[in-house]
A and B are shown apart, each in its own frame.
Chain A
Amino acid sequence: MEYLGIKIEKPKVAFFEFTCCEGCQLQISNKEDTLIDLLSLVEVVNFREISSDQKDNYDIAFIEGAISRQDQIDKIKKIRKNARLLISLGTCACSGGVNSLINRHCSEDAVAEVYGEYKKETLPVKSAKEVVKIDLEIPGCPINKDEFENIVVHLITGADFSFLKYSVCVECKQNLNHCLLDENKICLGPITRAGCDAPCPGGKLACYGCRGPADEHNWPALKQTLIEKGFTLEDIHEKVSFFNMLTEVTDNES
């Protein structure tokens, strides 16, 4: 394989999933226009959800999902050993995602509520990077399929890649959406990293920050605005903590 006359090695890639909805891997198969071209850039050696052919000789491993049981800890450690590059795919792998909400409850009570007298093994939810070293995190619930393709093409061709530094608010304005803060909704677009093209505010659903904080943001000002609009700290906390992606900017504040 060549790109601009430079010979490129076709990396062997693998996909694995832990505690999640598997929706991020689905986004890759939903990239119908360029899927075959994208697949021609790599050799897929392990992708259980769509393939029965499975090997462990991969260079790049993509992992989706949070870690919430001992066998997953063992498995992700094994994947870390095998992979040259380990990439978290989606918010659940990056921060635990919505799965983290269960950490507010006692696990024994949760098991008892769902399974009654039967014991089922579970651990408090962790992100992948709390268990092993992660080389790159691609956030989003779900991931943005164009951004994913862009990152993969950059990685394989050896080109530099950087995430957008500005916020979802900028993309939302570019799309000429009506501002949801003006419609009295708790929208976290002003502090959340762009790159998704603002699909939530585009559907008049407020942004809850699934992509984590933008490089440039002003949480104290947004929080003050929300309080002035009459929202309680409890209302605000429910939204900023939903995906567990904004704790680094909001933890000391709310």
Chain B
Amino acid sequence: MKVNIDINVHHVTRTEGHGNIHIKIKNGKLIKSQWEVVETPRFFEVMLKGMSYEMAHLLTARICGICSIGHALASLRATEDAFDIKIPEAAGNLRLLSKHGETLQSHFLHLFFLAAPDFFNVGSVIPLIDTNRDIVDMALRLKKCANDMCDILAGRTTHPTSFCVGGMSKAPKKKALKKIKKELLDRAVDAQKTIDLFKSIKIPEFERKTEFVSLKGEKNYPWIGGDLISTDGIIKQESCYLDMTNEYVVDFSTSKFAKLSRESLAVGALARINNNYNFLDPRAKQVAEELNLKPVNYNPYMNNIAQLVECVHIINESVKMIDELLDKPLDNICAKFKVTAGEGISAVEVPRGILYHHYQINNSGKITKANCVIPTTQNNANIHHDMSELVKQEVKNGKSDTEITKMAEMLVRSYDPCISCSVH
């Protein structure tokens, strides 16, 4: 039996940002298995110091090209918490709908452009244009629908332009809301075909018990604000996020690691569903069942399926939310407020998991201290420990270097890491 393996993947492809994989097995014994984030540090928390409060969401949106709406919303909520602002209900609905658009575009981008090539045994989506044109066209239609939704609601998918402290700076026209609703309903066939496609895909078999952390649903599947929950039974208030994240630095990574009750924790679509399955839309629940996703699921590769289930949930919830908004006046979308010294904390579920922004602001509205805890940072330790267990399992199964490399890369991709974010 071959027992010496040396794997070094420099800059894993089809992920946002730069990370490396190092695996070394000698005489059948695991010597090293390391998930190493090598992205350049970016220091956004330091840049925020001294900045005016109204610029914070514009700067922090630039932490991430994919989830800039999520960052902007977490930032705004932290500022609004510091100033004790209650945003108008319609503004809250428009913000959540914007975020739904972002989650859809992010999940579809990941499922079709980043993850799917592994299941088709190709290097990228490009060869699929010739071999599976129907799937590529379908992916583009779904992604376009999501991006159009963001453009209409947030002004732009990447680095939104319609948000401001207090609510929204601009509301979409009702005609535009109707257009989004129609596009979402028109995509029902594509959504069903995507479900069928993922039913035909074999998700790798692997499990490692871990702790899943997300927002805690009260009446609905949670997206913005509220208590924090873990599958190990820990519940904390949003303001106690530091107790839920426990970030620490390791010498081999420019992104921090995090833990809670165990050596690692996981956030993201799978964590949200593991904690809030009962709040899923009935159709989304049905899809979860058809795709063998039941809580608590400990297979990290199932995060792909969890993202798809969330897409179904979001499409249905968005249509309902638009119907409600169409019956309401959209003229009161921004609260008046006074700039006062204060401290604000915000937790928002962004595509890759729970995101925290925390600011201290002085009397002149300048930020004096900032902390952001990123989903991928919270997942790093979990990826790292999953990889060790996975390698042990696959060596036992007699897999080759090439097969183990592919499984390890797919493992990293299944978390849909946002590495540029994680070194903010």
Q: Is the CB of B147 within 8 A of A203?
A: no
Q: Does A155 have its Cβ within 8 Å of any Cβ on chain B?
A: no
From residue B380, how far is it (CB to closest CB) to chain A in Å?
A: 14
From residue A101, how far is it (CB to closest CB) to chain B in Å?
A: 4
Given the known interface contacts A50-B14, A238-B51, the answer about A203 and B169 at a Cβ–Cβ threshold of 8 Å is: yes
Q: Does A49 have its Cβ within 8 Å of any Cβ on chain B?
A: yes
Interface residues of A in 91-117 (CB under 8 A from B): 97-99, 101-102, 105, 109-111, 113-116
Closest to A117 in B: B249
Chain B CB count within 10 A is highest, among A24, A99, A203, for A203
Partner pick for A205 among B51, B62, B124, B162, CB 8 A cutoff: B162
In the complex, identify which listed stretch (A31-39, A79-87, A165-173, A215-223) lies at the interface while the others stay far away: A31-39
Q: How many A-B residue pairs have CB under 8 A?
A: 164
Q: Is the CB of A102 within 8 A of B420?
A: no
Given the known interface contacts A48-B13, A118-B249, the answer about A21 and B63 at a Cβ–Cβ threshold of 8 Å is: yes
Which A residues touch B135, using CB under 8 A?
none
Partner pick for A99 among B15, B42, B105, B160, CB 8 A cutoff: B42
Alpha-carbon separation in the docked complex, A34 to B144 (Å): 11
Which B residues touch A199, using CB under 8 A?
155-156, 161
Interface residues of B in 314-372 (CB under 8 A from A): none
From residue A17, how far is it (CB to closest CB) to chain B in Å?
A: 8
Alpha-carbon separation in the docked complex, A54 to B12 (Å): 12
Considering only CB atoms and an 8 Å cut-off, how many residues of chain B contact the other chain? 59
Which A residues touch B51, using CB under 8 A?
238
Alpha-carbon separation in the docked complex, A59 to B123 (Å): 21
From residue A47, how far is it (CB to closest CB) to chain B in Å?
A: 7
Interface residues of A in 19-72 (CB under 8 A from B): 19-27, 29-30, 32-33, 35-36, 39, 44, 47-54, 68-69, 72
Which A residues touch B114, using CB under 8 A?
50
Q: Does B136 have its Cβ within 8 Å of any Cβ on chain A?
A: yes
Q: Is the CB of A98 within 8 A of B65?
A: no
Q: Is the CB of B59 within 8 A of A111?
A: no
Alpha-carbon separation in the docked complex, A29 to B157 (Å): 12
Interface residues of B in 134-164 (CB under 8 A from A): 136, 140-141, 143-144, 147, 154-164
Alpha-carbon separation in the docked complex, A200 to B52 (Å): 18
Which B residues touch A24, using CB under 8 A?
65
Closest to B39 in A: A19
Q: Is the CB of B16 within 8 A of A22?
A: yes
Interface residues of B in 110-143 (CB under 8 A from A): 113-114, 117, 123-126, 129, 136, 140-141, 143
Name A residues whose Cβ lies closer than 8 Å to a Cβ of B: 18-27, 29-30, 32-33, 35-36, 39, 44, 47-54, 68-69, 72, 97-99, 101-102, 105, 109-111, 113-116, 118, 120, 122, 141-142, 199-200, 202-205, 208, 235, 238, 242
